[in-house]
Structure 1
Amino acid sequence: MIYRTDIDFKPENIEAASKKVYDAIIIGGGTSGLLSALTLIENGKKVALFEAGSFSLLTHLTNTELRFQRELTDSVRSSFQYTQKMPDGNNFGPNFSCLGGRGLFWNGASPRFQPHDFDGWQLSYEEMIPYYEWAEKEFRVSDSYGRTDLAQKAINTINEKLDLKAISAPFAFNDSKEYYGMLPSGISSALGIFFRNTFQKDRKELIDIFCNSFVKKINLSITNNATGVIASINKTQLVEFKANIIIVAGGGIESIKLLKNSNVPDPHYRIGKGIQEHLFYRTFWDGSSFFDSSKKDAATIFIPSESQNSEQIEIHAPGRYLFATDNEQSWEPDNRELYHIMIRSFAATEKSDNNFVAFNTDNIGNSIVHFSHSDKDRSMMQKMKSKVSIIGASLNLSIIEERFASFGGSYHEAGGLDMGNDPKTSVTDKAGRVHTCENIYVLDASVFPIIGATNPHLTLAALSRKQTLNICK
């Protein structure tokens, strides 16, 4: 059952749910939480999933033709955003609070982590391969828009002039649709995957989804086993729910805060320490000299990182409207915005205990995030700008707009509940299980011991699948 309106939250319904003992309670309805729920249900487990945000039809439609209505999608996006605060009062974020989470608003970029991205992890690239393959199949990942004439022209130019290793970029979309110089609108999401494989396959009796329901704390026994959660149901009443296993997937900052608020034992003071995010540099270029105006063409290109300490680059053409232009719009050479090419670059911030999350209150979005850039970060930012500039020049483009995202603006925060073998330096083990609580698991990016330069979405999906299958065993 999906609890989403006052009718669903009738006292008798809530009382009946509170008397159940679920096999697992999942906290957070984003990509990791939804795919974990799907995996548990496929294995016959009874699940309760709690999402602090709402269940809104509009959030689902942003992955359909309605995403082309930019004013509508921008207003929908902003209505689900909230921010964490930094000590100076500035924002760290934004984050999204709705069933589906950020995965409803991403652009579909789906590269795997490079093998070197797993340096310092307790998992290897080889271990992740079958789960990457599962995620790519479910998200319908394809590199077909990296194999268009336009993409191949750009790839050949970059590789020949700059001796780089540009390749076709993998994106999560259904490429069976006709397109008009733009990628089709069907960007895949974990929410779509979840509904396709549960509610359309008579598995819905195994799950209760509580929207507008914020988990305040995890209940612990005297031996530090989790027994359930206390949740604010429909933002009006506190109710206790019971489960054998607790899976935390609230998103990096929220998961850290929940463990702190639940008084999960932290004898070595590691919870919330060493968070990272991506430096994110985005540029737009006039590409009218690069396009053949007689063709309706698009391109997605990927230049992988060379190490954990280097940058990843993506090229999208047309850049500004890659996923936000009506397919019925005519291809007009004099409409110069259609020819904007986006070149964007990601690189990891330096891992440091000086970047951490401090507990504030148990309400959503009320943590204090201490975060600053190191000298190494600032040096990397200059390197990113220089490399993007060289790539733009190699394609004979002229720059129109450039900016680095503000703190938290990459949407890729990670760490703080780091995975590791040593409880003195980590919070969770290789399976995502909290060292000090044997039946609490963390499945979001807060367990990343280090984040390289690669976009993390596909890895999050694959990791959620892998860890949840292990839980089922």
Structure 2
Amino acid sequence: MVKYPGNWISTKSLEEMANTTYDVLIIGTGHGGGTVLSRLCELWRNNGAKKIGILERGDKLFHSHSLNIPTMNINTASNQLLEDNSTSFKDRLPEFSGARMVYALGGRSLFWNCTVPRPIESELRKWPINYRELEAYYSMAEKSLNASISYSKGSSMQNLLLRKLYSKGILEARDLPLAFDMEASRKGQIHSNPWYSSINKLASAQYNRDFDLGLNAYVSRVLTEDRKISGVEVFSQNKDIYNTC
């Protein structure tokens, strides 16, 4: 019998994936990879002929954001779980001594602080894209992340910070938006996973259609043929080499 913790999301072996030709192959299951996978599965929901693969260097770690674990809080998740399940850059990149890399299904989204503020308008005016064009995409992203100011609104620390910013002429400052689902469970919809992580996207993807997920996949290089990308070279934990395309 396969225990639930190892079976909550289906995976394929690297050997199986090497023998499959994919229309899209996604590298990494963090914020970017999870979002791309979810959107593709939504768009190709009724197109079973399309093959989607996604590769992750790490293994399964948590089913959701670390703060959704009942025995964790902000301090223990950051000081204990992140410390035990991440790799420090201090030896390789001493100028970023505090940076840590998470190799796991969901990547750093399992530990991020979920803050999703927009850049200030004065900064956006320097961009080559008009803010009105960006507005639609920001709105879609915030909806997808369940972004809300309700969680942080009224915080005494935040109010103090806002007053200081206003006094310095930074009048655009607003309550801090967080990727936190404030909806109550009702009408058959369960909202028990408030802190957002890429696992949310992996879940929505698998409810739309099948995809192949390969774990412990060390992607070493991109393969090309006739100046076009043809696949990737992947190492397994046992250092076996597979070419996936």
**TM-score, normalised via structure 1 length:** 0.41
Aligned-partner Cα distance in 1 for 2:183–2:150: 10
| Correspondence list, 1:121-140, <5 A | 121-140=127-146
| Correspondence list, 1:222-237, <5 A | 223-237=226-240
Aligned-partner Cα distance in 1 for 2:33–2:11: 22
Q: Give yes or no for the alignment of 1:99 onto 2:102.
A: no
- The Cα of 1:70 is off from its aligned counterpart by 4.6
| Correspondence list, 1:20-419, <5 A | 20-44=20-44, 45-57=50-62, 60-68=65-73, 70-71=75-76, 74-84=79-89, 85-86=91-92, 91=97, 93-118=99-124, 121-148=127-154, 150=156, 154=160, 157-158=163-164, 161-165=167-171, 166-176=173-183, 186-195=194-203, 197-199=204-206, 201-203=207-209, 205=210, 207-221=211-225, 223-242=226-245
Ranked by relative contact order (alpha carbons within 8 Å, sequence separation 6 or more), the top structure is 2
AA matched with 2:200: G
Aligned-partner Cα distance in 2 for 1:172–1:145: 9
- The Cα of 1:72 is off from its aligned counterpart by 6.2
Q: Deviations over 1:15-44 (max 9, x none)?
A: 432222111111111101110111122222
- The Cα of 1:238 is off from its aligned counterpart by 0.9
Cα separation, partners in 2 of 1:9 and 1:29, compared to 1, 3 Å: closer
| Correspondence list, 1:8-23, <5 A | 13-23=13-23
Cα separation, partners in 2 of 1:50 and 1:149, compared to 1, 3 Å: closer
Tell me if the contact between 1:18 and 1:241 (Cα under 8 Å) persists in the aligned partners.
yes
- The Cα of 1:71 is off from its aligned counterpart by 4.2
Percent identity over paired residues: 22
Aligned-partner Cα distance in 2 for 1:48–1:145: 36
Tell me if the contact between 2:88 and 2:98 (Cα under 8 Å) persists in the aligned partners.
yes
SS in 1 for 2:216: coil
Aligned-partner Cα distance in 2 for 1:141–1:92: 27
- The Cα of 1:161 is off from its aligned counterpart by 4.7
Aligned-partner Cα distance in 1 for 2:93–2:73: 37
Q: Which has the larger radius of gyration?
A: 1
Aligned residues: 224
AA matched with 1:213: A
Taking only aligned residues, the RMSD between alpha carbons, in angstroms, comes to 3.4
Aligned-partner Cα distance in 2 for 1:194–1:58: 10
**TM-score, normalised via structure 2 length:** 0.75
- The gaps in structure 1 that reach 5 residues or longer are 178-183, 243-473
Cα separation, partners in 2 of 1:66 and 1:133, compared to 1, 3 Å: farther
Aligned-partner Cα distance in 1 for 2:126–2:234: 35
SS in 1 for 2:201: helix
